Structure 1
Amino acid sequence: MTAPMTLDDADNADAPAKPAGTQTLLRGLTLLECVAAGVGDVKGIAARLGTPRSTTHRMLTSLVAEGYLHHIPHKGYLLGSKLIQLGQKALEQRPLVAVARPRIEALARQTGDTVHLGVAEGDEVFYLDKIAGTRGLEMRSRAGLRMPLASTGIGKALMLGLDPARWAGLHARACPEESAAPATPADRPRPPPWPEFAARMADYAAWGWAFDLEENELGIRCVAAPVRDARGGVAGAISVASATPYMPDDRMRALGPLVRAAADAISCDLGWTAA
């Protein structure tokens, strides 16, 4: 007897053969990404997935039952406790996070400012960790955030490990043409024009640390330095960030060696040996 065709079988009738359950798994992951992006209602999620509401509701109910989602009646769906636990485990399993955490916690206590840890993924910074400072400041950075390399201090520190021939392209990535975003305000934070940016990067390469002078977020400045691995390559970067009143030019210059020393300590923990 031929088994009845399931919804997934019908959807995939004309698609290339995939392992059993693959489509359902991918839909479930896409559903979680929808909720993470703020789409929390059945109608909106169904529209994103292209599935009937009844199917979407069954998927949501299953994910709630397993703890991957949390449902608030009349409000919608949120990411659940199991995803929070998995996210924390994912961070813990990144060796750089585990090695760097005591160092960046100490740096945050020493400076009173917010400290970040990040790595380069493509032409973006991927923030791995954030230790809040004691000044009660709020900034948009968070673990899991991605930003163009050339628009952030931590990104410019990461760029110090790249061939300088790539800097211009990364600068262009962080400075899209106004014609591509006509609604963008002219005073939107962005890196300076290329000649000035290139001159600053040359200084950063000589110093061993980099600055963010409100190029990513208005009112926020930071000092960043690269973290190196046992082979001497740049494996990540850390930054100390605070509001502009706490980051005058003279303090940023004083923080440079301090941030680099912390980054070098993490590098040594990873097996790097200073030349």
Structure 2
Amino acid sequence: MNAIELTNVTYKYQDGFNALNNITLMIPIGAKVALLGPNGAGKSTLLHHLNGLKIPQEGSIKIMGTPLMKKTASQIRQKVGLVFQDPDDQVFSGTVLEDVEFGPRNLKMADDEVDEVCRAALGNVGMLEHKDRPPYHLSYGQKKRVAIAGILAMRPDIIILDEPMSYLDPAGQDDVAGLLNGLHYMGKTILLSTHDVNFAASWADMVVILKDGELLATGGIDLLVNEEIIRKANLHLPIISRLFKMLPDLELETLPKNEQEAARYLYRRLNEQESKYSL
């Protein structure tokens, strides 16, 4: 069973704008998925479908084997947690703890269970010590963590994030990246939208690229060095790949896509040079 299955999904807004057009996509359980594409590609509309905020007008969606329909939308939201791009749209209670408790209480959890899951969720995002603070006293990055904790407390199988790195400073982006890896180690399926090809190349194991509401490509991170696809999607090569592309004498069969691949290549070349001179 896949975590997410879309079959021929189409969705048009009332003004006639075709946000999604005949999308078929399978996402396996435990995947780390980066959803990329230019503005207006349909990324947010797709994410809203996966959380049951929107229902496909044509085609079908299954979440952990459950078909998405109006009567199952609330059930789907227990399986899929959606973190909005702006945490101020999601973090609104009097204190951090009260905010994280909102979801579990709506799920009718017992009081002792609510306390347990909320403290655990805040601990997982490094915000437990701030549990009694008003959200408006927090930094933007801290609010992002609280928003994620609020989703974690509902114990979803799938976590979806809309532009989780937006408006964060570099340290905040590193914190969120570490948190996402921690969620993956917990066994969560994670899907996020991003414009950052560098982050996608270093974090994701699956890439989905949309353009004009259509699925342009899906596969591994090798897609991010496919210049034809990148050009069509109005994206650019990862910065590591651009650097190595400027060194044609290396005669690389495939451009490194991230720091790890670049380091492995350079280490191998250094060893080859040492072996050559030692002879």
Q: State the TM-score, normalizing by the size of structure 1.
A: 0.29
Query: For the pair shown, which has the larger CA radius of gyration, 1 or 2?
Result: 1
Structure number with higher relative contact order (C-alpha < 8 Å, ≥ 6 residues apart): 2
